[in-house]
Amino acid sequence: MKTAVIYSEHFLHHNTGEGHPESPERLRRIIGYIKSNPQFRRLEFFEPRPATINEIEYVHRGDYIQRVARICERGGGNLDPDTVLSRESFNSALLAVGAGLTASDLIMEGKVRNAFCAVRPPGHHAEADRGMGFCVFNNVAITARYLQKKYSIERILIIDWDVHHGNGTQQIFEEDDSVFYFSIHQYPHYPMTGRAEERGTGKGEGFTLNVPLSPGADDKVYLIVFRELLNRLVENFKPQFILISAGFDCHRGDPLGGMLVSEAGFYEITKIVVEWGKKFAEGRIISYLEGGYSKEYLPLSVGAHLLALMEEVFS
């Protein structure tokens, strides 16, 4: 079976304004690179369906959803100083969430093996009642709830390697023992959450693992964390589905991070996740684009990630 890419040109209509790092150009470059490179000819592209309001409410409060809709209806505005909405942003955000739901159905129906959701706006900073850090709705969290509700998936692993901690995803699942949230990120760094002692609360205690790293961590450090620390936890948790918040701003050339991960590093950590997927989750993996702001290196990093999902050789 093939690897799917879930993408819509409507994601380009989310207009964050001139000079904003989370721009439509990110996706233009990713899709242009994939479609022009014969290495990716086996990928299968799918259009997402928009998520319904009811599906967004799996995670987010109704008054917050209405606030986003109202701002967009008025022509746009800000959720916070960094998170900009335009007239079309609400529709783009519904499609961004819907990409994961579309991918879930394709995988569970046996039509594709795994999927990459090339979306914007991103999602992992969005909390139940607020968006922040360029994020509107928490795409990966809603996908997890959808898998639980529609397909009765009991154990879901979320892996977040964005250079910024996914405070929203952690908050949403911090009292939940059915979703294991793992984040490896730069610290101290925005949003100043994700300390090692944050491990979940109540019955969710022990189902959050944060690995905060100082600037300068490279491929070797990331691979040690995945192979030695995270591997033991995955073996114990035995996920039935794996979701990835794939932020490529830990690349050594990214302007918003201070890490030193290379394209080869992204390929290798993705390969590890693919092996976990085959061992525990029948190969079921959905990856969501989060951060990554280098116009030069973002397409190359996504390409390396896709080659690993496709189980192709990286060169």
Catalytic one of 125, 164, 189, 305: 125
> Which of 223, 225, 271, 232 shows the shortest CA–CA distance to 114?
271
Starting at the edge strand found earlier in the chain, the sheet holding 114-117 runs: 44-46, 3-6, 114-117, 285-289, 241-246, 156-160, 179-186, 208-213
Tell me how far apart the alpha carbons of residues 300 and 315 are, in angstroms, rounded to a whole number: 11
Q: Which helix (H) or strand (E) segment is 186 a member of?
A: strand 179-186
Determine the residue type at 220.
Answer: K
114 CB neighbour count, 10 Å cutoff: 25
Q: Is 10 a catalytic residue?
A: no
Size (the chain), residues: 315
Both tokens assigned to 234: 């995955």
Catalytic residues: 125
